Chains A and B, each alone.
Chain A
Amino acid sequence: MAQITLEGIGHAYGSGAARSGTDYALKPLHHVWEAGRAYALLGPSGCGKTTLLNIISGLVIPSEGRLLFDDRDVTRLPTEQRNIAQVFQFPVIYDTMTVAENLAFPLKNRGMAKPLIDRRVGEIAAMLDLTPHLGRRARGLTADAKQKISLGRGLVRSDVSAVLFDEPLTVIDPALKWELRSKLKVVHRALDLLMIYVTHDQVEALTFADKVVVMNDGRAVQIGTPAELFETPEHTFVGYFIGSPGMNLLRGEIAGTEVRVDGQVIPLGAAYPGLRPGQEVKVGIRPDYAVLSETGGLPVDIRRIDDLGRKRLAHVALGENRQTLVATVPHGMSVETGPGRVSFDPARTHLYVDERRVHGDSFSRGRAA
């Protein structure tokens, strides 16, 4: 088990003479992956998350920066000298071997004694509910079962520097994803390995990881706990990408401890001495914290109600430019399209300039909207 350090790791494909910032598949990044923790790399396709994973695994040599496993510089070492385990999108197993032989293979390869192998294979099989299948040949098993074996093979060695997962639940039936996401979390707790998990699915990332690296356009836009990403997105992209639907963003102008949006006034939970009066900002508020109200808040035009079973969301238009946002309908409230009101939780209302969150001086207690 190791700590992995990225020292200004960046990557531009092709031969690089003069490069502009846009040439990078991965813009230079400093980060320490702590031993024993679970991380997710989350972002849309093309964001650079797979490039970063491939740099850590050794499939890609970065065009700049250094990669350290503890104090050892592995930047240019081939994959097999890095002591890592990998799980890919699609099952990588031996069809002719039994499930037990498949799980044992990485250990046997390293000359581990048979009783130790048997014990470890037994442990991993139990964690993944593979015990009843141990004696069966892998051929003929479902894609789900095969991918579980792949996960088991990735997890079976306890001496690896890290386990890397590249969208490992792609082939898993949606109904089983619940189960496997949960399993992986439990397995991480039990095994105490550094795990790095690439996905474009926020639920997988937030559920699995202690910390999530949100990536967009070759850049790590925020590294934080699930709660940090949800409550205080540091970048508008994080607000958009985390949460379904994502954070509402409205154009407005700062006015003291309020922000004006098309003549309407939204109260803030902090003072922003760093902003000029009248400066243009984006107001970010999650649908969870913009709530339809009978009397308080701002007048809006309710255009549509989505009933999601567990909750209802209202699509509303605010102000003369009819900026749209999504608001939560409180349980039990009866609501129709047409005129309505939305109140904002000032403590959860954030301001963004150039897509970055502006840090204000919070009031000790949030005021009511």
Chain B
Amino acid sequence: MSLVLDHIGYRRGDEALIADVSLELARGSMNVLLGPTLAGKTTLMRLMAGLDRPTSGRLIEDGTDVTGVPVKDRSVAMVYQQFVNYPTLSVYENIASPLRVQRLPRSEIEARVARAAKLMRLEPMLQRTPGQLSGGQQQRTALARALVKQARLVLLDEPLANLDYKLREELREELPRLFAETGAILVYATTEPTEALLLRGRTATLWQGRITQLGPTAQVYREPESLDAARVFSDPPLNELALRKSGTEMMLAGGRVIPAVGALSGLPDGEFRLGFRSDAVTLGDAGGDRLGFPGVVAVTEISGSESFVHVDVGAGTWVCLVEGLHGYEPGDRAEARLDLSRAFVFAADGRRVSADAPAPALRQSVPA
């Protein structure tokens, strides 16, 4: 089946919670909704499910208008960030519950529960109650219940957010595969760019109730079309630098003037904003053609093999990626070295501009 969101909007009072969202979701596809808390991910999923009725636009399932059709008359399974299970029922009965509602024959229920329990590695826990399970096991129970239902639309709302990161790693690998087998449309909401990249599929970046970009996940990451999309798809946060181009010179925020080099030389005169991720700016001698910004280390964050050094360069504080574990101390002087070729250029209205016209067309012709 396919699900089409046709100019869907949702207002509460004067507030537009979802504004003009159009999407087409294909059978068996993985669709990631990426956005920070309060961007509208949960609201949009509730509209897709029929839990709330959109205030404008239409919801079309396989060519049939299902706008306003309540969730009970749709084929939908939803898993939430908080583990939702029936506390007094056994794990087995928790998983079986949607099948009992559907009045399936007992043999069919047993077969489906057994299969889901095996996939979710819950077999030894089937007779326990949710209170006797770890958080990871409780969430696997909720996921198994969504799986047995064999719904045509499966909505996963930050399903791994409350789990330890090691469990997240494991389940993140398994989930898309498990649901892909059912042929369901999978919609997965997350706040984390890395999670989106690992899930692959297509990603819609969501910001203030609007979809700012939609495309194959890796392509949206590599070629954000707007400042909002780039910000949503950056962790650590996107580094930014405002500048004004005038002839062959660029005045940077903070007053420094540099020659307009590389791709930037092709820009028309005016106000721009550079956006670049932590891996486009490093410390020390990185080699290559980089622009140096002397600054002072604010703090260093260590994530396993990578160090993220926050450097105050006057025009703002940037997060710079340094490979390996490095103990830059707060107050240390350091030079942030920016690889301009990996900076995105945004116009004053936030839209991505290409510094030299032919390049984007060329990039678009390369499959993601």
Contacts and interface: CB of A to CB of B under 8 A. Distances in A.
B330 A286 contact: no
B174 interface: no
B299 interface: yes
Interface stretch (B2-10, B86-94, B109-117, B192-200): B192-200
Contact of B304 (A44, A185, A230, A307): A230
Nearest to A205: B302
B14 interface: no
Given A45-B135, A175-B237, A288-B305, A189 B330 contact: yes
B165 A230 contact: no
Interface in A222-237: 226-227, 230-231
Interface residues of B, number: 38
Contacts of A231: 325
A203 B301 contact: yes
A307 B197 contact: yes
Contacts of B310: 182
B311 to A, nearest CB: 12
A132 B319 CA distance: 25
Given A201-B165, A207-B301, A173 B36 contact: yes
Given A174-B191, A207-B300, A310-B279, A286 B305 contact: yes
Contacts, number: 91
A230 B305 contact: yes
B341 interface: no
B301 A202 contact: no
Contacts of B99: none
Contacts of A230: 304-305, 325
A46 B134 contact: yes
A353 interface: no
Given A200-B164, A243-B304, A185 B299 contact: yes
A306 B198 contact: yes
B305 A45 contact: no
B166 interface: yes
A242 interface: yes
B166 A182 contact: no
Most chain B CB neighbours (cut-off 10 Å) among A44, A230, A240, A309: A309
A173 B37 contact: yes
A207 B236 CA distance: 14
B250 interface: no
Contacts of B193: 309
Contact of A175 (B169, B191, B306): B191
Contact of A244 (B36, B278, B304): B304
B305 A243 contact: yes
A174 B169 contact: no
Contacts of B151: none
A335 to B, nearest CB: 14
Given A244-B165, A244-B169, A202 B236 contact: no
B218 interface: yes
A182 B301 contact: yes
Contacts of B160: none
Interface string A236-278: 0000111111100000000000000000000000000000000
Contacts of A203: 301-303
A178 interface: yes
B302 A174 contact: no
B298 interface: yes
Task: Please give me the 5 A-B residue pairs with the lowest Cβ-Cβ distance, nearest first.
Answer: A206-B302, A182-B299, A243-B304, A207-B301, A288-B305
Interface of A: 44-46, 173-175, 178, 181-182, 185-186, 189, 200-203, 206-207, 226-227, 230-231, 240-246, 286, 288, 306-310
Given A206-B303, A207-B303, 17 more contacts: A45-B135, A46-B134, A173-B36, A178-B237, A181-B301, A203-B301, A203-B302, A203-B303, A206-B302, A230-B304, A230-B325, A243-B305, A307-B218, A308-B197, A309-B218, A309-B221, A310-B278
